[in-house]
């Protein structure tokens, strides 16, 4: 049985072929139901969210009108990694994204660490995003109807409420949608993506119709430093194209569609973002953008005199963030699924529901945990933690491309990063550069999170790892009959 490269212990590497064949095992197979359009929409769904609707103001405050260049720079930084994601997703079309790629290249311990890191990037961050959803819902209700939910049921205890009902509501609603089926989820997502693109388009058209060049001077008051510092924050707005790869296993034609969707969603969002940034500066000063919680609405209000714009943009933000929650929760369930299937987390959770073709049990467990987190915890610090965690995953995915080219040169690669290893190395360099721009306490929190993860591996994953059990001569999970009992 050729499941490992023969390396023992915590650095044992999964064989790519066995990773792929295991996806067809009884009760562990996800339904292959998602085509190119839906995959691309999943990318756009995960990408466009608070970043463009809110964080753009912070960026304009740091870089001035040159925030436009920060958007371009952040996109370029993502582009190299996107190519690497595209290569690995098309050649290892297995759920789990960076976690699975790392298992196939750098071994079990590093894979566990990145999986644990992705739980931070997806599971914890989605709770924060759901909290932001509640805030935007209130802004919408207020600007459209002049009503808002009382604080007691709209805020976490620390912010003066009892619990955050809207956040719990959105998480549970999406949990049920995800259990219901990947096709249904992808369809709902497509509608939401259309709405958010129309809202951004509305902004761009109005902004260009009222465009003036007065706000462009001085263009870069803080020089190059301002542009790069703003790019490190704006990076958040681009996170999400990686989420496409978490669900590779459900793609109908992974070889063709995954690279298309990963790169395509990044390109679409870059175009929208840069036009939005140019339009915003065309109608509002950086100070106006920085001074508002809803910078795009403020720009339309002050720069184009459209007072009802706030309601449209708040609605756009609510819908946008709903689809971010959908795709990121989806990604979290698929990463968890892969980790359970490999035995690093309880394997019985990786059961696929026969009727819906989704990992229903695990989705419910995760949905409830995330809802509890979203109800009670104020998570404003989370944005920076998410950035550092995501950048760390990017580094490992780029390394994964380089390593796999050496260890498995003959493996079929439907999509290949051009000029490897130059572009993956640039991807690593950009990611490390942006990480180094993040504050010290973010690093400390990140390291603490990883240490907790290593402890859990040591106490659970190391013993239960399916790979290790097979190495030690136990019956491989896929050869087990029901009478052998559940492999725990």
Ligand X SMILES: NC(=[NH2+])NCCC[C@H](N)C(=O)O
> Which residues are at the interface with ligand X (CB under 6 A)?
46-47, 49-51, 121-122, 125, 236-237, 239-240, 324, 328, 386
Distance CA 227, CA 65 (A): 10
DSSP secondary structure code for residue 487 in this structure: -
List Cβ neighbours of 40 (8 Å cut-off, separation of 6 or more).
244, 260, 261, 264, 265, 268
Q: In degrees rounded to 5, what are phi and psi of residue 14?
A: -75, 145
In contact, 60 and 281? CB cutoff 8 Å:
yes
Nearest in space to 295 (alpha carbons), one of 80, 109, 56, 110: 56
Nearest in space to 178 (alpha carbons), one of 332, 339, 340: 332
Distance CA 247, CA 267 (A): 20
Burial class of residue 17 in the structure, from the number of CB atoms within 10 Å of its CB (0-12 exposed, 13-18 middle, 19+ buried): middle
Q: Which is nearer to ligand X, 46 or 192 (CB)?
A: 46
In contact, 197 and 44? CB cutoff 8 Å:
yes
Distance CA 76, CA 234 (A): 12
User: HSE of 321 in the Cβ direction (CA atoms, 13 Å)?
Assistant: 28
In contact, 128 and 324? CB cutoff 8 Å:
no
Minimal distance in Å, beta carbon 220 to ligand X? 24
Give the other-Cβ count within 10 Å of 410's Cβ: 5
Q: Which is nearer to ligand X, 66 or 269 (CB)?
A: 269
**What is the per-residue burial (b if ≥16 Cβ within 10 Å, else e) of 302-318?**
bbbebeebbbbbbbbbb
Minimal distance in Å, beta carbon 446 to ligand X? 14
Q: Residue 251 pairs with which residues in a beta bridge? A: 34
Minimal distance in Å, beta carbon 237 to ligand X? 4
Q: Which is nearer to ligand X, 48 or 423 (CB)?
A: 48
Q: Which is nearer to ligand X, 3 or 241 (CB)?
A: 241
Distance CA 142, CA 214 (A): 32
Cis check: omega of the bond before 96, within 30 degrees of 0? no
Q: Residue 4 pairs with which residues in a beta bridge? A: 14
């Amino acid at each position: 049985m050729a499941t490992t490269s023969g390396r023992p212990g915590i650095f044992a590497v999964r064989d790519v072929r066995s990773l792929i064949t295991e996806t067809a095992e009884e009760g562990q197979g996800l339904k292959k139901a998602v085509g190119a359009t839906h995959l691309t929409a999943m990318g756009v769904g995960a990408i466009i969210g608070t970043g463009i609707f809110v964080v753009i103001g912070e960026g304009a405050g740091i870089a001035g009108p040159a925030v436009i260049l920060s958007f371009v720079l952040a996109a370029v930084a993502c582009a190299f990694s996107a190519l690497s994601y595209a290569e690995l997703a098309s050649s290892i079309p297995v759920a789990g994204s960076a976690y699975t790629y790392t298992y196939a290249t750098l071994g079990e311990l590093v894979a566990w660490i990145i999986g644990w890191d992705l739980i931070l990037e997806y599971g914890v961050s989605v709770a924060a995003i759901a909290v932001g959803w509640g805030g935007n819902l209130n802004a919408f209700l207020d600007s459209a109807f002049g009503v808002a939910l009382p604080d007691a049921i709209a805020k976490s205890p620390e912010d003066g409420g009892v619990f955050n009902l809207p956040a719990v509501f959105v998480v549970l609603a999406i949990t049920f949608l995800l259990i219901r089926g990947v096709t249904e989820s992808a369809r709902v997502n497509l509608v939401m993506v259309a709405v958010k693109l129309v809202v951004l388009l509305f902004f761009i058209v109005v902004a260009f119709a009222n465009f003036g060049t007065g706000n462009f001077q001085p263009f870069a008051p803080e020089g190059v430093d301002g542009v790069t510092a703003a790019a490190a924050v704006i990076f958040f707005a681009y996170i999400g194209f990686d989420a496409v790869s978490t669900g590779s296993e459900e793609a109908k034609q992974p070889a063709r569609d995954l690279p298309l969707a990963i790169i395509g969603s990044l390109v679409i969002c870059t175009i929208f973002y840069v036009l939005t940034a140019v339009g915003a500066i065309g109608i509002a000063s950086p100070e106006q953008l920085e001074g508002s919680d809803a910078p795009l609405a403020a720009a339309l209000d002050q720069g184009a005199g459209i007072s009802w714009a706030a309601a449209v943009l708040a609605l756009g933000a609510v819908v946008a963030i709903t689809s971010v929650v959908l795709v990121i929760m989806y990604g979290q369930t698929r990463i968890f699924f892969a980790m359970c299937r490999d035995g690093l987390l309880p394997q019985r959770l990786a059961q696929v529901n026969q009727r819906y073709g989704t990992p229903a049990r695990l989705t419910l467990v995760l949905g409830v945990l995330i809802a509890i987190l979203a109800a009670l915890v104020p998570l404003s610090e989370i944005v920076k933690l998410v950035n550092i965690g995501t950048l760390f995953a990017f580094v490992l995915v780029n390394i994964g491309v380089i390593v796999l080219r050496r260890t498995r040169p003959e493996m079929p690669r439907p999509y290949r990063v051009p000029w490897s290893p130059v572009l993956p190395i640039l991807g690593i360099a950009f990611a490390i550069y942006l990480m180094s721009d993040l504050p010290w306490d973010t690093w400390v929190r990140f390291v603490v999170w990883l240490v907790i993860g290593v402890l859990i591996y040591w106490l659970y994953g190391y013993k239960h790892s399916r790979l290790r059990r097979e190495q030690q001569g136990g019956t491989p999970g896929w050869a087990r009959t029901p009478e052998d009992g559940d492999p725990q």
